Structure 1
Amino acid sequence: MRKNWLGTWVGFVLIMAWCLLPVVWIVSLSFKSAAETTAGSPQFFPKAWTTQNYKDIIDNPDFTRALLNSAGIALSATFLSVVLATLAAYAIARLDFRGKRAVLSLALAIAMFPVVSLVGPLFDMWRTFHLFNTWPGLVIPYMSFTLPLSIWTLSAFFREIPWEMEQAAQVDGATAWQAFRKVIVPLAAPGVFTAAILTFFFAWNEFVLAISLTSTTASRTVPAQMAYFVGADQFNPPYSQLATASVVVTVPVVILVLLFQRKIVAGLTSGAVKG
C-alpha cells in the first residue's frame, strides 16, 4: 500500500514538473533584462530580477490596443456562438425534422476544416465587403469554427434533460420560451459553460486568421501583435518582452479556469443531467 502511494506521488510530481517547466521558464524570462537574455546560455532564474518588461508592455500602446481587441473579439464571438448554439442544439435535441443527422455531420465537418485553406478566400471576400481589418471580420470566422463544437456539446446535454420537466413547466402556465429559458437552460448550465470556455479559448489564442485578416492595430489581436515584436536586429528577438506578453495574455485564461473550474469539469465529464 505504501509503495502504491509513493509511486502515485512520484508520478504526479514528474508529470507536474514536465507540464509546468515551460511555464516557469517563460515567467523567469519575463523578469530578465534584455541584456541577460541575449548574453548566451542564460541561467534558468534571473541574475537580477526586474519588472521593467512589464512596465514596458503596459506602456506599449500597440500591445494594450491588441489586448482590448482580443477581449472584445473573444467575448463577442463567445456570446454570439453560445446563444446561437444553445438555440440550435435545443432544436436538434427536441424537434424531429428531416436532415437532423446531416446537420450534425455538416457541423462536425466544418469544425474539422483546416483554417489555413480559408485564409485566401476570406481575404478577398472581406476586402470586397469592407470587413477586412475590423472586429466583425474576425468574429464571423471565429463563430464559424466554434459554433459546431458548441452545438455538439450542448445537444448532448439537451438530449439527456428529461422532457417531463419542460412539460411540467408548461402545465404550470409557462410558455415554451419561458420553460426553455427558466428550466432547460439552467439544467444545461455545465454544457453552456463548457461551450463558452472552449469558444473563448479558441478566439483568444487564434493566430492564423488574426494575422491574415488584419493590417493595423485597429483590430489586431494579441497573438498577431506579438509577431510584430522586434528587437535591435533580426538576430536578437526581444525574448524577455515576448515572454512578458505571453504571461500577461495567459493571466485572463488562468483566472477563467479557476473561477469556472467546477463547471468546466462537470461539463467535460458528465455530459448529461440525470433526471
Structure 2
Amino acid sequence: MKRNAKYWWTGWGLLILVWALFPMLWMVSLSFKDPATFRSAKPTFFPEKWVWTNYDTVFSDSLFTSALRNSVGVAFIATLLSVIVAMFAAYAIARLEFPGKKLLLSMALAIAMFPQAALVGPLFNMWRNLGIYDTWAGLIIPYLTFALPLSIWTMSAFFRQIPWEMEQAAQVDGATAWQAFRKVIVPLAAPGVFTTTILTFFFCWNEFLLAISLTSTDRARTVPAALSFFTGASQFQSPVTAIMAASVVVTIPVVILVLLFQRRIVAGLTAGAVKG
C-alpha cells in the first residue's frame, strides 16, 4: 500500500508539473518561431526553424526597453520601501502592546483584499491633479498600498516566533533597543524578511491594472502594460511571437530568483508552521 501510494503521488506530481510548465514551454516555442509563417497550415509545437527575429525586434523597440527600465526601477523602489516600512510595523505589532493592534491587522488584511479596479478611477483623477500621473511615484505609491499589508502580515508572524529573551539579553549586555533590533532580531527574522521581499517584488513586477491605468507614455509604463501596445511590423503581421519573446525576457529574472533562492523561500514560507 505504501509503495502504491508513493507511485500515485509521484504520478500526480508529474502531472501537475507538466500542467504548470506547458504554458511556459509554449511561450518559449512561439518566441523562436518565424512571425511571418508561425500560423502555418500544419501547426507544430516546436518551431520548424528556430529564429532570433522576435528577440531582435523586442530589444530594438524603444517601447520595450524603456518599459523594462521602468519595471526594474519601480519594482525595486516599491519593494525596498515596502520591506523597510513593514519590518518596523511588524516588529511593533509583534512586540508591543497598544490599543487597536488587532484592528490595525484586520484593516491591513481588508486593504489587501480590496479590489484594485475600484481605486483606478479615483487615483486617475487624484494623480492628474497632483501632477504625478504617468510618473514612477504615481505607480510606487499604489503599489505600496497593496504590498504593505501582505508584507506586514508575513513579517509579523516571523517576529512573533523570535524569543523575547534574546532581545532582553542583548539589552542587558549593553545594546540599545535599535542595536538589539538591528543585530539580533533582523538576522533571526532573515528568512521571513527575504520571503516577504521576493513576494513583494513579484507583485510589483507583474502588476498590470494600475500600470496601464496610471500611465499614458513610455516615461513610466512598465512591461506588463507595454505588452498590450505591441503591434506587428505591418497590419498583416501578428505581434504574437514578439509578445512571447518579450514575455520570456520578463520571466527570466523571476525564474532565476526562484532557482537561486528557493531554499530561503521555502524556509521563509514554512518557518513558524511547527513549534519546536
- Is the Cα contact below 8 Å between 1:161 and 1:274 reproduced in 2? no
1:157 counterpart = 2:158: yes
Shift of 1:255: 0.9
Question: SS state of the match for residue 76, structure 2?
Answer: helix
Gaps of at least 5 residues in structure 2 are: none
Q: Encode CA deviations 1:100-146: one digit per residue, 9 max, x unaligned.
A: 00100010000000000000000001001111000010000000000
Q: Encode CA deviations 1:37-80: one digit per residue, 9 max, x unaligned.
A: 23356211101111111122112121011001000000000000
Q: What percent identity do the matched residue pairs reach? A: 64
Residue 181 of structure 2 aligns with which residue? Answer: 180
Shift of 1:196: 0.7
- Is the Cα contact below 8 Å between 1:85 and 1:147 reproduced in 2? yes
1:45 counterpart = 2:46: yes
Mapped to 2, the partners of 1:89 and 1:96 lie a distance apart of 12
1:78 counterpart = 2:79: yes
Superposed, which structure 2 residues align to 1:170-209 within 5 Å?
Answer: 170-209=171-210
1:66 counterpart = 2:67: yes
Shift of 1:10: 2.5
In terms of mean alpha carbon deviation, does 7-16 or 186-195 score higher? 7-16
Gaps of at least 5 residues in structure 1 are: none
Residue identity opposite 1:91 in structure 2? A
TM-score after normalising by structure 1: 0.95
Superposed, which structure 2 residues align to 1:124-163 within 5 Å?
Answer: 124-163=125-164
Mapped to 1, the partners of 2:39 and 2:194 lie a distance apart of 43
- Is the Cα contact below 8 Å between 1:161 and 1:272 reproduced in 2? no
Residue 259 of structure 2 aligns with which residue? Answer: 258
- Is the Cα contact below 8 Å between 2:195 and 2:268 reproduced in 1? yes
Cα-Cα RMSD: 1.6
Mapped to 1, the partners of 2:177 and 2:273 lie a distance apart of 22
CA spacing shift, 1:164–1:20, aligned 2, 3 Å: same
Q: How many residues align?
A: 274
Residue identity opposite 2:218 in structure 1? T
Question: SS state of the match for residue 36, structure 2?
Answer: helix
- Is the Cα contact below 8 Å between 2:82 and 2:148 reproduced in 1? yes
TM-score after normalising by structure 2: 0.95
In terms of mean alpha carbon deviation, does 257-266 or 91-100 score higher? 257-266
- Is the Cα contact below 8 Å between 1:82 and 1:150 reproduced in 2? yes
Mapped to 2, the partners of 1:200 and 1:41 lie a distance apart of 41
1:221 counterpart = 2:196: no
Residue 124 of structure 2 aligns with which residue? Answer: 123
CA spacing shift, 1:128–1:45, aligned 2, 3 Å: same
Question: SS state of the match for residue 132, structure 2?
Answer: coil
In terms of mean alpha carbon deviation, does 143-152 or 57-66 score higher? 57-66
Superposed, which structure 2 residues align to 1:223-262 within 5 Å?
Answer: 223-231=224-232, 232-233=234-235, 237-262=238-263
Shift of 1:4: 3.8
Mapped to 2, the partners of 1:229 and 1:38 lie a distance apart of 18
1:92 counterpart = 2:84: no
Query: After the TM superposition, which parts of structure 1 deviate over 2 Å for at least 4 consecutive aligned residues?
Result: 1-13, 36-42, 271-275
- Is the Cα contact below 8 Å between 2:191 and 2:264 reproduced in 1? yes
Question: SS state of the match for residue 83, structure 1?
Answer: helix
